[in-house]
Chain A
Amino acid sequence: MPRASAERPIANHDVILKTKGLALGYGRRTVLEDVTLEVCRGQCWFLVGPNGSGKTTFLKAILGMLSPRAGTLWFHPDFAHREQIGFVPQRCDLNPTLPTTVREFVLLGLAGLRVKRREEGARLAWALEKVGLAGLESQDYWSLSGGQRQRALVARTLVRRPAFLLLDEATSGLDWPATAAFLHTVSELNRLDGLTILFVTHDLAIAARHATHAALFSAGRVHAGPGHDVLSAANLERAYGTPIALP
């Protein structure tokens, strides 16, 4: 069974991503300044903060879609290749009139990789099993529920066998059972397969429950650290400008 890990194993808690004094922006507008944090292997990070505070901008920088204006963005050498980093978008704007199966949709994730046909089948079966869609590969993609489609998005990323998984508001639009099933999948990937997770969300309750670490984005700055420290009532009130009580 393929495993979602880097080919050259790295010790647990090795730093895989480090930023120091990182500044990001678009055109003349600076969105983030002085971002300093360290992500270690196996950690589950949640990125929270008000709209427009730079969470997605930070993800874009990690994905190489945005160059730093200042500071450093360092990756462990095992993560220098893009296939070690998987990205799950908020949604997939697939043309709904197009015919496609779960297999075809998930295997699109292999774009740009040289993978033998037999290996493709193994990766597909493994990814679908991981997200709880085993046996549905021949099914029409459009017959899946919203929650299943979201998990198919994760499977599409997993076939690349990433060791570092970035999710951008991947539970928005899902109902409670679908959200719970989705988070269970992500949590298992982190716990059992050792995937490092970076999850952007607006749902603070989810973040408080699942985060080992958190980054609170606000007013162009980032407060990062262990989840229970960062997601304190005082920090949240300062970031959102209103008292927030977490369960």
Chain B
Amino acid sequence: MIHDFLASWPLFSNTYLAGWLIGVLLSLIGVFVVARDQIFLGAAITQASTLGIAAGMWMPTVVAAEMFPWLRSDGFLAFMAVVFSIMAALVTAGTSEAGGESRESITAWVFLISASLSILLVAHSPHGLQEIHRILSSSIIGASTADVWTFGALAGLTIAWIGASRRRLLLLALDPAMAEAVGMRTARWAVVLAAWLGLTVGLALRSSGMLYTFGCLVLPALCAKNLCREVRAMFFTAPLVALGAGVAGFVLAHHYDFPPAQMAVALLGLALVIAWSLRWARHRTRTS
């Protein structure tokens, strides 16, 4: 099995590396999403990013695409995915205010309007509809060297940022009132965090699809939450879980001829069941 996988390396190395780097990158950011109990937010941002791609495909049909050939480029679609996910992250980053709408309601609205519009915009374009379905179902086959470098750089920057500001980021995620009291400019930090979440989700979605992006965003962090005793350990455990599931998933998918993204997410789901069991057993041991 391993030998077969290694034999496929020259052909699929970019796909494998990009998939693993996306897993590491999103699992780190996912720790903040899970810490703030905003898992649905991750789904909404991912869906908004899909809407961005749909809008990018729709635009050449309503404007003179021959005058703007870049409208049909892959880079433009990636740009639209990032713009829409950043917008969604910023819209949902606000806090619920008395008498106003709750953040959950706004997140639900973003999710539903994005899900419906992303289909409606490309409903009369067979190629567009096919592309949206491909994104929704996830396929990481076809990643380029540029994708590998992009996600490598983003993962490196994220690790450096967390290393330098872990405690402040945690305090912001866990107790914004205290963060403000110790002098942090919480609104500014929240905007930067939301923008970073939007940027990474938007780029990941374009390369790996919705299922893999959302799966890597929340499942490794949820596994880590159940395996660790402290939040800081989640920053080490979540990427390891994502990487482990990614490697095992791609090897198994290659051997049994299954789609790799779905296999990796299925393994992450299984890992979460194991993590729940371990936490339950630990809790039982402690209380007995």
Q: Report A's interface with B, CB cutoff 8 A.
A: 63-65, 82-83, 87, 89, 92-95, 97-101, 103-104, 107-112, 140, 156, 160
Partner of A89, one of B168, B181, B232: B181
B162, CB-defined interface residue at 8 Å: no
Cβ contacts B72-86/A at 8 Å (1 or 0 each): 000000000000000
- The minimal Cβ–Cβ distance linking A100 to chain B, given in whole angstroms, is 6
Contact B229 A82 (CB under 8 A): no
Contact A99 B168 (CB under 8 A): no
If the complex has contacts A94-B175, A108-B174, A108-B175, are A82 and B228 also in contact, measured as CB distance less than 8 A? no
B257, CB-defined interface residue at 8 Å: no
B184, CB-defined interface residue at 8 Å: yes
**In the bound complex, CA of A94 to CA of B178 (Å):** 11
CB closest residue in chain B, given A141: B230
Contact A160 B181 (CB under 8 A): no
Chain A residues with CB under 8 Å of B231's CB are 98-100, 104
CB closest residue in chain A, given B180: A65
- The minimal Cβ–Cβ distance linking A136 to chain B, given in whole angstroms, is 14
Partner of B183, one of A92, A112, A156: A112
If the complex has contacts A93-B175, A95-B35, are A111 and B229 also in contact, measured as CB distance less than 8 A? no
- The minimal Cβ–Cβ distance linking B12 to chain A, given in whole angstroms, is 37
If the complex has contacts A95-B36, A107-B167, A111-B168, are A82 and B232 also in contact, measured as CB distance less than 8 A? no
Chain A residues with CB under 8 Å of B170's CB are 108, 111
Total residues of chain B contacting the partner, CB 8 A:
26
B2, CB-defined interface residue at 8 Å: no
If the complex has contacts A98-B174, A98-B231, A100-B231, are A112 and B35 also in contact, measured as CB distance less than 8 A? no
Contact B37 A110 (CB under 8 A): no
- The minimal Cβ–Cβ distance linking A243 to chain B, given in whole angstroms, is 33
Contact B175 A92 (CB under 8 A): yes
Cβ contacts B41-85/A at 8 Å (1 or 0 each): 000000000000000000000000000000000000000000000
Chain B residues with CB under 8 Å of A63's CB are 180-181
If the complex has contacts A108-B167, A108-B170, are A97 and B37 also in contact, measured as CB distance less than 8 A? yes
Chain A residues with CB under 8 Å of B177's CB are 89, 93
